[in-house]
Structure 1
């Protein structure tokens, strides 16, 4: 069964979390994780994280996916470079706020929370993020270094040295050991009212009242910074999620709730919440299966090979529209051609009868009267005009129906045929009908008629 790996990269700590029972899909809340914490200098955090991931993948080949959180874009680039140098590719990077919101959904009832503020107090600084609790969109993210876990530890150390119970360490190693002792005493105050821890330099004695007096100003300042970041995001929040090692201080939750006025969520083991949220976001890569071979159907004359998504009306509609349009275009072209041909025939007949020049001359007149050039001699086949020039209406009438012109040698009326033996009048008032005279028919072997 494949597993997943979540990694959070802090300033001086790298945490690796593996869900039990094969991954986030194989168990139900409360989730259980196998967490590994590695401490290293801040300058090598990204390199140490890549080394730890490579060692984990070599020891556990069943890990199918890795998710790494990052705080800023420069840190994300440094993580990518470190992973590339080790030729590690099967991983994804997510912002710390996204992993925090996902972890909150997995461990807390978030149905009434649409916008969440994440207060992450680590050893090197405070990160405040305003995130959409449903889409994981980050509205605002600010990093504050004025308050940090190291700064709070230094306040406890200086207070112990100032009280005279602890001697000041002589070397940096002793100073680091005293800081670790003060940090442990600070964390134990979350479950008790007083802590007494011996050391080589003396006894570290810390009470809840003294500790809150030391931390109050710094914590109230961080709460005001968180409120200002929420105001700048222009998205009101319904809850505040407190993460990091500083979340173990009970005073922080009380001050945040009093300053912002919304519920404060503090998960168990808040310093590992980002690594566990990253593990919940990791998804093993799915190997795509080869697509099934398409079924080949035999083609025949009656088979319809049109795709099923192309319906019958959709197939016919463009073709019918195209046919109707083409037929209409052909009819329009045919009518236009017939009209032009008719005009050409009429013009040819008019020119053949000798009316073309007159029509052209009349059409060129601008005042509506007939213009006859002085040098034009009368046509031998036309009679001399006996009336005045026609008006424009007469010109149009002439063009529409030209008068019948007769030659001088043609008779005006035809004489009726003279009555003869073969002339018959069929209808009174109409010309008689003349039947032709047929020659006699002579049959062979018979004498002609009259002999």
Structure 2
């Protein structure tokens, strides 16, 4: 057996995806995330692929790899990093081609002209694609990004009175707490993120106004890109980790008056598409197999600008983008098989672990972490076989062996039987102690699951003794 991988090298993480069945995309995927931190994304991606090619995945060899790139410069960096590791069996896949490959396989791309809105950690890429003519128009900006969302949470936390502040505003753990709060707000109205020095409390009513200028700026950028492309798109597809932010979908629908599609697991759609393109390229694919944007396609990079001042006034909560709308007049729509498949993630691995592994090791712990994660069995939501079943223990009592009867019945001898005095049997009954009354649990703050703080009871008032000479006559 052989495995196929799809790999993306982002500024925050390298993502590796392995299809369960390369010939059937609906069978599901496993994926692994390797944090880049200070590492070069292209080199880290090549090192990760090199480790997996040497060690294999769950006993299978890695036969084909689809490397997803953003632009020509990114493709050159990936090609050089793979050559440094001595790897040549891979396919370079453009981001738009990877996205279209996955969306075509799942049927999530209605119409012929679409806008791909890819919001990642370092910036936003907007691509207008026409499937009929093959025209592609791509522009990128760093004026909005996932990290700027994190900074909005961080600056709000530092500027709030009466809340915990870290000693170092740039502390890595504090920044990670702010990022976690942002991510958890994608599925909750309010969150509490604990850390070693304090807790970050954040609600959607606070978070949405913080990022509204950034999100509206991204909608304005998307509108301008569509105008410059000259196309008339029929739908908008959200990709990247920023697709989970609920405000993004609502603002784009309001500004563009177009349906917005959020694919299943939008942050790894490109890696999945890279794997599918590697399958289509065939087992003999090498570095010469490249899927670059067609000639005549335009690409424009917009330099970053200063972040607009943040506001903290208002904004109503938005609906969650994940569930589909339910029609009251009929039964809910059945979830397609490709969306029911649960992508099994593995544990996070740092780039330092990958760099330490290199190509020389064999039974390395990092290989086991990635290989086992990518080789895990896929599960489906609602699968009865995944539920633990109770263990039945059957205790059988062996039949009593009958005593053999004597051949000749003995003659009973006369005996004198003395009946002992009957003793009264006494049964002790243990009376359980009376139940101890327990105090009811303290009330919780709605949405935060934190007990409402209470004041201690006030001490009794002191008694003032009036001297006799000051007493009034009765």
Give the TM-score of the pair, scaled to structure 2: 0.56
After TM superposition, the structure 1 = structure 2 runs for residues 252-331 of structure 1, keeping only pairs within 5 Å, are 252-283=248-279, 285-286=282-283
- Asked if residue 247 in structure 1 is aligned to residue 243 in structure 2, the reply is yes
TM-superposed CA distance for 1:176, in Å, is 1.8
Structure 1 223/42 Cα, relative in aligned 2: closer, same or farther at 3 Å? farther
- Structure-1 residue corresponding to 2:113: 115
- Structure-1 residue corresponding to 2:147: 150
- Structure-2 residue corresponding to 1:406: none
TM-superposed CA distance for 1:167, in Å, is 4.2
TM-superposed CA distance for 1:228, in Å, is 0.7
Equivalent of residue 225 in structure 1, options 221, 225, 248: 221
Q: Distance in 1 between matches of 2:171 and 2:135?
A: 39
TM-superposed CA distance for 1:171, in Å, is 4.1
Q: Is the Cα contact below 8 Å between 1:11 and 1:42 reproduced in 2?
A: no
Q: Distance in 2 between matches of 1:185 and 1:205?
A: 8
Q: Distance in 1 between matches of 2:163 and 2:268?
A: 32
Tell which has more relative contact order, 1 or 2 (C-alpha 8 A, sep 6+). 2
Q: Is the Cα contact below 8 Å between 2:43 and 2:81 reproduced in 1?
A: yes
Which sections of structure 2, spanning at least 5 residues, go unmatched? Answer: 286-474
TM-superposed CA distance for 1:163, in Å, is 1.2
Q: Is the Cα contact below 8 Å between 1:128 and 1:229 reproduced in 2?
A: yes
- Asked if residue 9 in structure 1 is aligned to residue 6 in structure 2, the reply is no
Q: Is the Cα contact below 8 Å between 2:108 and 2:261 reproduced in 1?
A: no
- Asked if residue 89 in structure 1 is aligned to residue 88 in structure 2, the reply is yes
- Structure-2 residue corresponding to 1:106: 105
- Structure-2 residue corresponding to 1:194: 190
- Work out which of the two has the higher radius of gyration on C-alpha atoms and give 1 or 2: 1
Structure 1 138/65 Cα, relative in aligned 2: closer, same or farther at 3 Å? farther
Q: Distance in 1 between matches of 2:162 and 2:131?
A: 48
Q: Is the Cα contact below 8 Å between 2:63 and 2:283 reproduced in 1?
A: no
Q: Is the Cα contact below 8 Å between 1:64 and 1:285 reproduced in 2?
A: no
1:343-384 superposed Cα distances (whole Å, 9 cap, x missing partner) = xxxxxxxxxxxxxxxxxxxxxxxxxxxxxxxxxxxxxxxxxx
Q: Is the Cα contact below 8 Å between 1:165 and 1:203 reproduced in 2?
A: no
Q: Is the Cα contact below 8 Å between 2:157 and 2:165 reproduced in 1?
A: no
Instruction: Give the number of equivalent residue pairs.
Output: 281
Q: Is the Cα contact below 8 Å between 2:123 and 2:140 reproduced in 1?
A: yes
Q: Distance in 2 between matches of 1:89 and 1:256?
A: 41
TM-superposed CA distance for 1:183, in Å, is 1.4
- Structure-1 residue corresponding to 2:136: 139
1:155-212 superposed Cα distances (whole Å, 9 cap, x missing partner) = 011111211355443347x622112111111111122211112223322111111111
1:55-109 superposed Cα distances (whole Å, 9 cap, x missing partner) = 1111225222111111121111111011111111111111111111211222234
Q: Is the Cα contact below 8 Å between 1:126 and 1:148 reproduced in 2?
A: yes
What's the Cα RMSD here? 2.0
Q: Distance in 1 between matches of 2:49 and 2:283?
A: 21
> What secondary structure sits across from 1:5 in the alignment?
strand
Q: Distance in 2 between matches of 1:260 and 1:32?
A: 32
- Asked if residue 40 in structure 1 is aligned to residue 36 in structure 2, the reply is yes
Equivalent of residue 124 in structure 1, options 115, 122, 125: 122
TM-superposed CA distance for 1:140, in Å, is 1.0
Equivalent of residue 57 in structure 1, options 53, 71, 77: 53
Q: Distance in 1 between matches of 2:274 and 2:14?
A: 13
Structure having the larger proportion of residues in helix: 1
Structure 1 156/286 Cα, relative in aligned 2: closer, same or farther at 3 Å? closer
After TM superposition, the structure 1 = structure 2 runs for residues 205-216 of structure 1, keeping only pairs within 5 Å, are 205-216=201-212
Give the TM-score of the pair, scaled to structure 1: 0.59
Q: Is the Cα contact below 8 Å between 1:7 and 1:14 reproduced in 2?
A: yes
Q: Is the Cα contact below 8 Å between 1:130 and 1:141 reproduced in 2?
A: yes
Which sections of structure 1, spanning at least 5 residues, go unmatched? Answer: 289-451
Structure 1 186/124 Cα, relative in aligned 2: closer, same or farther at 3 Å? same
> What secondary structure sits across from 2:53 in the alignment?
helix
> What secondary structure sits across from 2:77 in the alignment?
helix
Q: Is the Cα contact below 8 Å between 1:67 and 1:282 reproduced in 2?
A: yes
Q: Is the Cα contact below 8 Å between 2:164 and 2:199 reproduced in 1?
A: no
Q: Distance in 1 between matches of 2:65 and 2:42?
A: 15
Q: Is the Cα contact below 8 Å between 2:126 and 2:140 reproduced in 1?
A: yes
